[in-house]
Structure 1
Amino acid sequence: MNPSEDLTQDRVASEEGPVGDYDFVVVANRLPVDRTVDEAGESTWRRSPGGLVSALAPVMSSHSGAWVGWHGAADEELEPFDHDVFHLVPVRLSEGEVRRYYEGFSNATIWPLYHDVIAPPEFHRTWWDTYRAVNRRFAESAARSASRNATVWVQDYQLQLVPAMLRHLRPDLTIGFFDHIPFPPLEIFAQLPWRKQVLTGLLGADLLGFQRPGDAQNFRRCCDQILGVQFDGERAEVTQTPQEQHEDEENERFRRAYTNAMPNVTSRRRARKERLNRDLPTWIARATSYPISIDVEAVTEMASLASTKRRARQIREELGNPKTIYLGVDRLDYTKGIRHRLKAYGELLNDGDLTVESSAMIQVASPSRERVASYIELREQIEGMVGRLNGQFDTMSHTAIRYLHHGYPFEEMIALYLASDVLVVSSLRDGMNLVAKEFVVSHLDHTGALVLSEFTGAAEQLPDAIQINPHDIDGFKEALLYAKNMTIEEQQDRMKGMREQIFAHDVEDWSTRFLEDLSKTREDNLGPEPSTDELPAVGHMDRGHGPFPTPAVEEELQRAASVDNLLVAMDFDGTLAPFTTDPEEARALPLSENALDSLADLPNTSVALISGRPLDFLREVADPRRKMLLAGSHGAEFDLSVAGEESPGLRLSDDQRAALEQATQAVEDLVRRHPGSEIEHKPAGVGFHTRTMDDDEAAQAAEADAVQTLKRIPGVMLSPGQYVVECAVLEVNKGDAMKTVRDVVQADVSIFAGDDLTDEHALAVLGPDDLGIKVGRADSVARLRVTGPEAMSHALARLAHLRRKHSAQADWHDANATD
Structure 2
Amino acid sequence: MASEAARKVLREFEKNGQSVDAALVTWSPETLRKILTEDLPEAQVIVVSNREPYIHNMKDDGVELVVPASGLVSALEPITRACSGTWIAYGGGTADRQMVDEDDRVQVPPGNPSYTLRRVWLTEEEYQGYYLGFANEGLWPLCHIAFTRPIFRASDWEAYEAVNRKFADTVVAEARNERPIVLVQDYHFALLPRMIRERLPEAIVITFWHIPWPNSEVFSICPWRERILDGLLGSSIIGFHTQFHANNFTESVDRFLESRIERADAAISYGGQTTLVHAYPISIEWPAELLATLPDVDASRTSLRERFGLKADVKLCVGVERLDYTKGILDRFQALEELFIRYPEWVGKLVLLQIAAPSRGTLPAYKQLHDECHRYAEELNQRYGSKGYKPVVMVAEHHSQEQVYEIYRAADICMVTSLHDGMNLVAKEFVAARDDEQGVLMLSTFAGASRELLEALIVNPYDPAMMSEALLQALTMTPEEQRQRMRPMREMVRDNNVYRWAGSMLMDAARLRKRSELDRVTTNAERSANANVDNVVSLVERRRMAAGLR
TM-score higher than 0.5 here?
A: yes
Q: 1:54 to 1:359 in 2, by over 3 A?
A: closer
What is the identity, as a one-letter code, of the residue corresponding to 2:128? R
Counterpart check, 1:312 vs 2:343: no
Deviation at 1:76, TM superposition (A): 8.1
For residues 220 and 513 of structure 1, what CA distance do their matches in structure 2 show? 20
1:485 positional shift = 0.8
SS of the equivalent of 2:107 reads strand
Shift of 1:74: 8.3
Q: Does 1:362 align with 2:383?
A: no
Q: Does 1:69 align with 2:89?
A: yes
Q: 1:108 corresponds to which letter in structure 2?
A: E
> In the alignment, which residue of structure 1 is the partner of 2:231?
201
2:526 is the counterpart of 1:505:
no
More deviation, 158-167/518-527: 518-527
1:443 has 2:434 as partner: yes
Match of 1:82 in 2: 107
What is the aligned counterpart of 1:164 among 166, 169, 194?
A: 194
For the residues of structure 2 that align with 1:521 and 1:338, how far apart are their CA atoms? Answer: 42
- SS of the aligned residue for 2:346 comes to coil
Q: 1:450 to 1:239 in 2, by over 3 A?
A: closer
Aligned residue type for 1:446? E
Deviation, 1:482, is 0.8
CA deviation vs aligned residue, 1:39-93 (integer Å, no higher than 9, x gap): 42x2254554556545544554454521111011489866222222221211111
Give 1:415-494 correspondences, 5 Å limit. 415-494=406-485
Distance 1:165 1:96 in 2: 22
Residue of structure 2 in register with 1:520 after alignment: 511
Query: Aligned to 1:30, what secondary structure does the other structure show?
Result: coil
Counterparts in 2 of 1:410 and 1:89: CA distance versus 1, 3 Å? same
Is contact 1:177-1:202 (8 Å) kept? yes
SS of equivalent to 1:424: strand
* 8 Å Cα contact 2:58/2:95 also seen in 1: no
The 3-state SS of whatever aligns with 1:147 is: coil
Q: Match for residue 94 of structure 1? A: 123
Match of 2:256 in 1: 226
Q: 1:35 aligns with which of 46, 56, 64?
A: 56
Q: Which residue of 2 aligns with 1:345?
A: 336
Q: Which amino acid letter does the alignment assign opposite residue 93 of structure 1?
A: L
Cα 1:402/1:498, change in 2 over 3 Å:
same
Aligned twin of 1:116: 145
Contact 1:156 1:178 in 2 (8 A): yes
Over the aligned positions, Cα root-mean-square deviation in angstroms equals 2.4
Alpha-carbon distance in structure 2 between the residues aligned to 1:167 and 1:442: 41
Q: Distance in 2 between matches of 1:117 and 1:395?
A: 35
Q: Does 1:23 align with 2:13?
A: no
SS at match of 1:319: coil
Q: CA deviation at 1:398?
A: 1.1
Counterpart in 2 of 1:393?
Answer: 384
Q: Which amino acid aligns with 1:120?
A: R
Q: What residue in structure 2 maps to residue 762 of structure 1?
A: none
% same residue: 34
CA distance in 2, matches of 1:96, 1:31: 19
Deviates more, 1:303-312 or 1:440-449: 303-312
Contact 2:408 / 2:430 at 8 angstroms: preserved in 1? Answer: yes
Give the secondary-structure state (helix, strand or coil) at the position aligned to 1:29: coil
* 8 Å contact kept, 2:261–2:269: no
Cα distance between partner residues in 1 of 2:435 and 2:88: 37
Q: Alpha carbons of 1:485 and 1:59: their partners in 2 closer, same or farther (altered >3 Å)? A: closer
Assess, with a 3 A threshold, how the Cα gap between structure 1 residues 333 and 146 changes in structure 2: closer, same or farther: same
- Which residue in 2 is equivalent to 1:15? none
The partner residue of 1:126 within 155, 158, 163 is: 155
Question: 1:111-143, CA deviations, whole angstroms, 9 ceiling, x for partnerless residues?
Answer: 000001421101111111111111111111011
Distance change (3 Å), C-alpha of 1:63 and 1:412 = closer
**Structure 1 residues 61 and 73, CA gap change in structure 2 (3 angstroms):** closer
- Sort the Cα spacing of 1:387 and 1:144 in 2 relative to 1 into closer, same or farther, 3 A: same
AA in 1 matched with 2:51 = R
The answer (yes or no) to whether the contact 1:22–1:66 under 8 Å persists in 2 is no
Q: Does residue 287 of the first structure (1) align with residue 277 of the second (2)?
A: yes
Alignment partners' CA distance in 2, 1:393 and 1:46: 38
Deviation at 1:284, TM superposition (A): 2.1
Match of 1:635?
none
Matched, 1:211 2:241: yes
Give 3-state SS (helix, strand or coil) of 1:336's partner.
coil
Q: Please give the alpha-carbon distance, in whole angstroms, between the structure 2 residues aligned to 1:491 and 1:451.
A: 12
2 CA distance for matches of 1:339 and 1:52?
A: 24
Between the aligned partners of 1:515 and 1:50, the Cα distance in structure 2 is 23
Gaps of 5+ in 2: 1-41, 520-550
Aligned equivalents of 1:354, 1:335: Cα separation in 2:
31
Residue 527 of structure 1: how far off its partner (Å): 12
Q: Confirm or deny: 8 A CA contact 2:143 2:219 kept in the other structure.
A: yes
Give the distance between the partners of 1:239 and 1:112, measured in 2 at CA. Answer: 28
- Comparing 224-233 with 158-167, greater Cα deviation is found at 224-233
**Greater CA radius of gyration, 1 or 2?**
1
2-side partners of 1:110 and 1:75: how far apart? 30
Mapping of residues 167-206 of structure 1, within 5 Å: 167-206=197-236
1:254-269 paired onto structure 2 within 5 Å: none
Over residues 683-741 of structure 1, what are the superposed CA-to-partner deviations in whole Å (9 max), with x where a residue is unaligned? xxxxxxxxxxxxxxxxxxxxxxxxxxxxxxxxxxxxxxxxxxxxxxxxxxxxxxxxxxx
Cα distance between partner residues in 2 of 1:94 and 1:80: 19
CA distance in 2, matches of 1:412, 1:401: 19
Give the residue type in structure 2 aligned to 1:488: P
When normalised by structure 2's length, the TM-score is 0.80
8 Å contact kept, 2:56–2:96: no
One-letter amino acid of the structure 2 residue matched with residue 23 of structure 1: Q
Aligned-partner Cα distance in 2 for 1:212–1:109: 22
Change (3 A) 1:101 1:354: farther
Distance 2:304 2:405 in 1: 12
* Kept after mapping to 2: 8 A contact 1:152/1:173: yes
In structure 1, list runs of 5 or more residues that go unmatched: 1-20, 241-281, 529-819
Amino acid at match of 1:363: Q
Within the candidate set 263, 267, 275, 1:236 is matched to 267
Between the two proteins, the alignment pairs up a number of residues equal to: 465
Of residues 336, 340, 345, the one that matches 2:327 is 336
> Given the superposition, is the C-alpha separation of residues 439 and 508 from structure 1 closer, same or farther in structure 2, using an over 3 Å criterion?
same
In 1, Cα distance between the equivalents of 2:217 and 2:518?
A: 31
Does the C-alpha gap of structure 1 residues 112 and 301 become closer, same or farther in structure 2, counting only changes over 3 Å? same
- Is the CA contact 1:393–1:399 (under 8 Å) kept in the aligned structure 2? yes
- Counterpart CA distance in 1 for 2:149 and 2:455 is 33
Q: Distance in 2 between matches of 1:179 and 1:319?
A: 40
Provide the C-alpha distance between the structure 2 equivalents of 1:113 and 1:34, rounded to a whole number of angstroms. Answer: 29
Q: Retained in 1: the 8 A contact 2:53–2:77?
A: no
Provide the C-alpha distance between the structure 2 equivalents of 1:22 and 1:310, rounded to a whole number of angstroms: 46
CA contact (8 A) 2:297 2:410 kept: no
**Separation in 2, partners of 1:413, 1:489:** 25
Q: Which amino acid aligns with 1:302?
A: L
